[in-house]
Amino acid sequence: MANRKWVIAAILALATTVTGCRSDTPPAAAAAHANAVADTGGSRKGDFGPPQGEPIEAILTSPPEVPPPTGRDYPAKVIVNLEVVEKDMPIAEGVNYTFWTFGGTVPGSFIRVRQGDTVEFHLHNHPDSKMPHNIDLHGVTGPGGGASSTFTAPGHSSQFTFKALNQGLYVYHCATAPVGMHVANGMYGLILVEPPEGLPPVDKEFYVMQGDFYTTTKYREKGYAPFDMQRAIDENATYVLFNGAETALTGDNALRASVGETVRLYVGNGGPNLVSSFHVIGEIFDKVWYEGGTRYQENVQTTLIPAGGAMIADFHLEVPGSYVLVDHSIFRAFNKGALGILTVDGPENLAIYSGKEVDSVYLGDKVASLASVQTAADSAASGTLTLDEQIAAGKSLYTGTCSVCHQDNGAGLPGVFPPVASSDWVKSHSHEELIKVVLNGLTGPVKVNGEDYNSVMPPMSQLTDDEIANILTYVLNSWDNGGGQVQRDKVEQIRASTPRAEGAAH
């Protein structure tokens, strides 16, 4: 039966090629024609015979880099050598996490092959590893996707071979028990199986992968952040990140391109739990190969990337400035780290966009350089935190946190937000009262420098103890506010002894 359907489809396809798609073609035949032409044939048409030429060692790249196109028009034998490394790396400014990685990075090395290639896969597990690991590649046809062939103890290597029958962008991940924990620790990456004719050429290609992370500590709590199995089971992520760190794609690590270029993003979602609503603020995807498959959709704002899935997006750049990659489940972007920046240089085009650059009111401290926060965290850890370091860290954190209302210069907005610059309120209240304002917010009438305000400051208790200590130390030592130093321990003590305000975190 299946064979007969094929023959009919082929005859229809032939007939329509000869006669052309005339308007009198019956609709059913036209649909069959469209499908016959567009259908890649899947795995049944993905075997282009035995590998030709010398074996090729695959070029593997670390995120956000993508290996160059294979540029081949024949099937080859491609050798992949991938090493598992367990290592401590920053997950946020001043916060370290023990990641388990494919190739030393999160996500793991990007692998690029061509449909029909025979891939000889070598998985090495570094001798310093504490855990066994393996790999399940979604681009593999065969039970387990390689997992059972690659179970590898520390200091060992294993090998298996597969033919890449289906084109597409595929996730790979570790599948060693407890699987969720291995994935949560960063064990995922992407393998691109190019269609035989390659993908349309573009100017810049980037590799981005989202993942959710679970720690016993709070978001941005300084020091070492241990994995929290219960939070992972509850799907209650502490961090949701692109490329394994809050700063992986911000500040000096922002992606870079120019006006006039076409950018292609290969975006995967490692999970382990959360589905991504992937969006770039200020851009529209000209094309999205949704789910990493063969067809593309055009003119897309936000695309869903399932956990264990991927997609390819192309867009052309018309206007310079900062474009912001987010998971549009938006608390993840602004409160869990799922935010990256694409910086585009080149000439303005006022006919297309007359507005100003996206600023700190929108992005908060995500645009500020947080290097001073790292310095303060390091010093605090070694017990050498100085007043100047606290002020510098507090300045970065004040930007986009307090400055949204009180303004960068502390002057506030007349009648709406009171000044914190040269504020007689700040000068006449104790450190304890200042800490309580930040933790619990402030409502009701207040008089600042002779002006009456009766508004609402929301609780800012999502800030950690060191963040509050540093911000207040910055405020006290700026704008003639009389100086002083707020200690982290003092904030901790007041947080513990203060009833939590309605709507406040923790």
Binding site, annotated residues for Cu cation: 133, 138, 173-174, 182, 187, 328
CA–CA dist 434, 437 (Å, integer): 5
- Is residue 326 involved in binding Cu ion (CB under 5 A)? no
Residue 174 makes contact with Cu ion by CB under 5 A: yes
DSSP assignment letter at 44: G
Report the greatest alpha carbon distance in the chain. Answer: 90
Residue type (1 letter), 167? Q
Q: Site mask, Cu ion, residues 384-413, x = CB under 5 A?
A: ------------------------------
Partner touching 141 among ligand HEC, Cu ion, none, CB below 5 to 8 Å by kind: none
Number of residues that bind Cu ion (CB under 5 A): 5
Q: Indicate the DSSP class of residue 429.
A: S
Nearer to ligand HEC, 446 or 505 (CB): 446
Kindly state the smallest distance separating residue 329's Cβ from ligand HEC, in Å: 22
Q: Measured between alpha carbons, how far apart are the two ends of the chain, in Å? A: 63
Nearest distance from residue 454's CB to ligand HEC, in Å? 5
Amino acid (1-letter code) at residue 469: A
The partner residues of 315 in beta bridges, in order of sequence, read 263
Query: Is the Cβ of residue 60 or residue 434 nearer to Cu ion in the bound state?
Result: 60
Q: Which residues fall within 8 angstroms of residue 418, CB to CB, at 6 or more apart?
A: 406, 412, 425, 446, 448, 449, 451, 453
Residue with smaller CB distance to ligand HEC, 260 or 458:
458
**Which residue of 182, 366, 431, 495 would you call a contact of Cu ion, by CB under 5 A?**
182
Q: Report the nearest approach of ligand HEC to the CB of residue 423 (Å).
A: 4
Residue 491: Cβ within 10 Å count: 25
One character per residue 133-162, x = contact with Cu ion (rule: CB under 5 A): x-----------------------------
What is the DSSP-derived secondary structure letter of residue 133? B
- Residue 444 interaction partner, one of Cu ion, ligand HEC, none, beta carbon < 5-8 Å per kind: ligand HEC
Positions in 185-204 near Cu ion (CB under 5 A): 187
| Residues of this chain that bind ligand HEC (CB under 6 A) | 401-402, 404-406, 417-420, 423, 425-426, 434, 437-438, 442-444, 446, 448, 453-458, 460, 471, 475
Nearer to ligand HEC, 458 or 503 (CB): 458
Nearest distance from C-beta of residue 134 to Cu ion, angstroms: 7
Judged by CB under 5 A, the chain residues 439 through 478 that form the site for Cu ion are: none
Residue 218 Cβ vs ligand HEC, minimum distance, rounded to whole Å? 16
Q: Please give, one letter per residue, the 3-state secondary structure of 472-497.
A: HHHHHCCCCCCCCCCCHHHHHHHHHH
Residues 6+ apart with CB under 8 A from 12: 29, 32, 33, 36
Question: Residues at the annotated binding site?
Answer: 133, 138, 173-174, 182, 187, 328
Nearer to Cu ion, 178 or 226 (CB): 178
The C-alpha atoms of residue 96 and residue 384 are separated, in whole angstroms, by 19
In the complex with Cu ion, which residue's Cβ is closer, 181 or 442? 181
**How crowded is residue 277: how many other Cβ atoms within 10 Å of its Cβ?**
18
311 binds, among Cu ion, ligand HEC, none (CB under 5 to 8 A by kind): none
Overall residue count recorded for the chain in this entry: 506
Nearest CB to ligand HEC, comparing residues 44 and 427:
427
Selection from ligand HEC, Cu ion, none that 418 binds (CB < 5 to 8 A by kind) is: ligand HEC
475: partner contacted, choices ligand HEC, Cu ion, none (Cβ within 5-8 A by kind): ligand HEC
Tell me the C-alpha distance between 487 and 457, whole Å.
23
Look-up: residue for tokens 């506010």?
Answer: 481
- List the single partner that 401 binds among ligand HEC, Cu ion, none, CB under 5 to 8 Å by kind: ligand HEC
**Choosing among Cu ion, ligand HEC, none, which partner's interface includes residue 182 (Cβ < 5 to 8 Å by kind)?**
Cu ion
Tell me if 443 sits within 8 A of 413, measured CB to CB.
no
CA dist list (Å): 463 to 401, 402, 453, 455, 506: 9, 11, 25, 21, 10
Q: How many CA atoms lie within 13 A of 489 on its CB side?
A: 3
Which entry of ligand HEC, Cu ion, none binds 174, CB below 5 to 8 A by partner kind? Cu ion
- CA dihedral for 170, 171, 174, 175, sign (positive or negative): negative
Range in contact with Cu ion (rule: CB under 5 A) among 177-185, 359-367, 411-419, 469-477:
177-185
Select from Cu ion, ligand HEC, none the partner in contact with residue 241, using the beta carbon and a kind-dependent cut-off of 5 to 8 Å: none
Q: Is 245 left (phi over 0), alpha (psi -120 to 50) or beta?
A: beta
Beta bridge partners of 204: 263
Which CB atom, from 30 or from 405, has the smaller least distance to ligand HEC?
405
Contact residues toward Cu ion (CB under 5 A) are: 133, 174, 176, 182, 187
